[in-house]
Structure 1
Amino acid sequence: MTQESLDTGCYDVVVVGSGAAGLTAALSAKVTNPDLRILVVDKAPREWRGGNGYFTAGAYRTAHDGLPSLLPLVSNVPSELEDKIDLAPYTAEDFGNDLQRVTGGRSDKDLGAVLIEDSLDTVRWLKENGNVVWWLSFRRQAYEVQGRWKFWGGLALTVKDGGKGLIKNLSEAVTAKGIVTSFDTKVERLLLDKSGGIAGVETTKSGNADSTSQLHAPSVILCAGGFEASRELRKTFMGPGWELAHVRGTPYNTGDMLLAALDLDARKAGDYSHTGCHSVSWDADSSPDGGDRDKTNEFTKSGYPLGLMLNIRGQRFVDEGFDLRNYTYAMFGRAILEQPEGLAFQVWDADAVGWLREEEYRDDIVRKIRAESIEELAEKLAAEGLRDSQAFVETINDYNAAVRAHREEYPDAKLDPSIKDGLSTQSSRMALKLPKSNWALPVVKGPFTAVRVTSGITFSFGGLAVEPSTANVVRNDGSCIPGLFAAGEMVGGLFYANYPGGSGLTAGAVFGRRAGVGAAKRASGTI
Structure 2
Amino acid sequence: MNNSFDCIIVGSGHAGCSAALSAAQHGCQKVLVIDKCPKEWAGGNGYFTAGAHRTVHNGLQDILPVVSNVSPEKADTIDMEPYTKDDFTGDIMRLSNNRSDPDIVRAVVDGSREAIQWLKDYVGIPFILSFHRQAYEVNGRQKFWGGMVLSVDDGGKGLIAAHHSALARSGIEVWYECPAIDLLHHDGAVVGVLVSKDGKPLELRSKSVILATGGFEASQDLRRQYLGETWGAARVRGTPYNTGDGLSLAQKVGALIQPPLSAFPEAGCHSTCWDYNAPLAHGNRAISNQYTKSGYPLGIMVNSAGNRFVDEGEDFRNYTYAKFGRKILEQEGGMAIQIYDAKVISWLRKEEYADDVVGKIWGDTLEELAEKLREKGLKDKTQFLDTIGAFNEAVRARQAETPDLKWDPSVKDGVSTGKALPLPKSNWALPIDTAPFLAVRVACGITFTFGGLAIDPETAGVLKDAPGKEPMKGLFCTGELVGGLFYGNYPGGSGLTAGAVFGRKAGKEAARLAGY
In the superposition, the TM-score normalised over structure 2's length comes to 0.98
Shift of 1:378: 1.2
CA distance in 1, matches of 2:245, 2:122: 30
The answer as to whether partners of 1:275 and 1:334 remain within 8 angstroms in 2 is no
Structure 1 pair 473–275 and aligned structure 2 pair: CA distance change class (3 A) = closer
Alignment of 1:46-61 (within 5 A): 46-61=39-54
Matched, 1:511 2:505: no
SS at match of 1:59: coil
Please give the alpha-carbon distance, in whole angstroms, between the structure 2 residues aligned to 1:468 and 1:358. Answer: 39
Deviation at 1:475, TM superposition (A): 1.1
DSSP 3-state at the match of 2:283: coil
2:352 maps to which of 360, 364, 380? 360
| Displacement after TM superposition at 1:83 (Å) | 1.5
Task: Write out the 4+ residue segments of structure 1 that deviate beyond 4 Å after TM superposition.
Answer: none
- Secondary structure of 1:272 counterpart: helix
For residues 113-512 of structure 1, the aligned pairs below 5 Å read 113-193=106-186, 195-205=187-197, 208=199, 211-270=200-259, 272-273=264-265, 276-426=268-418, 431-477=420-466, 478-512=469-503
Measure the CA separation in 1 of the matches of 2:98 and 2:365: 44
Q: CA deviation at 1:174?
A: 0.9
Which residue pairs with 2:94 in the alignment? 101
Contact 1:281 1:453 in 2 (8 A): yes
Question: Secondary structure of 2:346's partner?
Answer: helix
2:400 is matched by which residue type in structure 1? Answer: E
Letter in 2 for 1:408: A
Secondary structure in 2 aligned to 1:111? helix
Offset of 1:232 from its aligned partner? 0.6
Q: Is the 8 A contact 1:239 1:274 kept in 2?
A: no
SS at match of 2:513: helix
Secondary structure of the corresponding residue to residue 417 of structure 1: coil
Hey, what does 1:520 align to over in structure 2? Answer: 511
Letter in 2 for 1:317: F
Q: Distance in 1 between matches of 2:292 and 2:76?
A: 32
- 8 Å Cα contact 1:200-1:217 kept in structure 2: yes
Instruction: Tell me how far apart the structure 2 counterparts of residues 479 and 81 of structure 1 sit (CA, whole Å).
Output: 51
Q: Secondary structure at the match of 2:376?
A: coil
Provide the residue aligned with 1:111 in structure 2: 104
Q: Partner of 1:75: helix, strand, or coil?
A: coil
SS at match of 1:466: coil
| Equivalent pair of 2:266/2:487 in contact (CA under 8 Å) | no
1:19 aligns with 2:13: yes
Per-residue deviation, 1:272: 1.1
| TM-superposition CA deviations, 1:166-222 (whole Å, max 9, x none) | 0000110011000000000000000012x120110011136x2xx111011010000
- Tell me, in whole angstroms, the C-alpha distance in 1 between the residues paired with 2:266 and 2:209: 30
Distance 1:275 1:433 in 2: 28
Amino acid at match of 2:153: K
- On the 8 A contact 1:334/1:455 being kept in 2, the answer is yes
Matched letter for residue 493 of structure 2: G
Residue in structure 2 matched with residue 32 of structure 1 by the alignment: 26
Q: Secondary structure at the match of 2:264?
A: coil
Partner amino acid for 2:463?
A: V
Q: Contact between 2:20 and 2:31, CA under 8 Å: does it hold in 1? A: yes
Which AA in structure 2 matches 1:167?
A: I
- For 1:482 and 1:11, the matched residues in 2 are separated by 16
Deviation at 1:92, TM superposition (A): 0.4
* Residue matched to 2:62: 69
1-structure distance, mates of 2:153, 2:128:
6
Q: Which stretch of the first structure deviates more once superposed, 473-482 or 298-307? A: 473-482
Report the counterpart of residue 3 of structure 2 in structure 1. Answer: 9
The gaps in structure 2 that reach 5 residues or longer are none
Cα distance in 2 for residues equivalent to 1:303 and 1:458: 18
Alpha-carbon distance in structure 2 between the residues aligned to 1:482 and 1:273: 30
Whichever residue aligns with residue 293 of structure 2, its letter is K
- In the TM superposition, what is the alpha-carbon distance from 1:260 to its structure 2 partner? 1.0
Q: Partner letter of residue 421 of structure 2?
A: L
Tell me the TM-score normalized by structure 1: 0.96
CA distance in 2, matches of 1:275, 1:435: 26
Q: CA deviation at 1:130?
A: 0.6
Q: Please state how far the C-alpha of 1:275 moved relative to its aligned partner.
A: 5.2
1:477-517 per-position Cα deviation (integer Å, ceiling 9, x unaligned): 20221100000001010100000000000000000110111
CA shift for structure 1 position 36: 2.0
Deviations 1:445-466 (A, max 9, x none): 1111001110000000010000
Unaligned runs of 5+ in 1: none
CA distance in 2, matches of 1:515, 1:183: 22
Paired with 1:285 and 1:74, the residues of 2 have a C-alpha distance of 34
RMSD of the TM alignment (CA)? 1.0
Tell me which residue corresponds to 2:38.
45
Partners of 1:335 and 1:159 in 2: how far apart?
29
Query: What number of residue pairs does the alignment pair up?
Result: 511
CA deviations on 1:319-353 (whole Å, 9 max, x unpaired) are 00010001000000000001111110000011111
The SS at the match of 2:62 is helix
Secondary structure, aligned partner of 1:29: helix
CA distance in 2, matches of 1:467, 1:36: 25
Give the secondary structure class of the aligned counterpart of 2:514: helix
Say if 1:219 and 1:483, in contact at 8 Å, map to a contact too: yes
Q: Is the 8 A contact 2:185 2:253 kept in 1?
A: no
How far 1:274 sits from its partner (Å)? 5.1
Q: Percent identity?
A: 53
Distance (Å, rounded) in 2 between the aligned partners of 1:69 and 1:107 = 28
Counterpart AA for 1:227: F
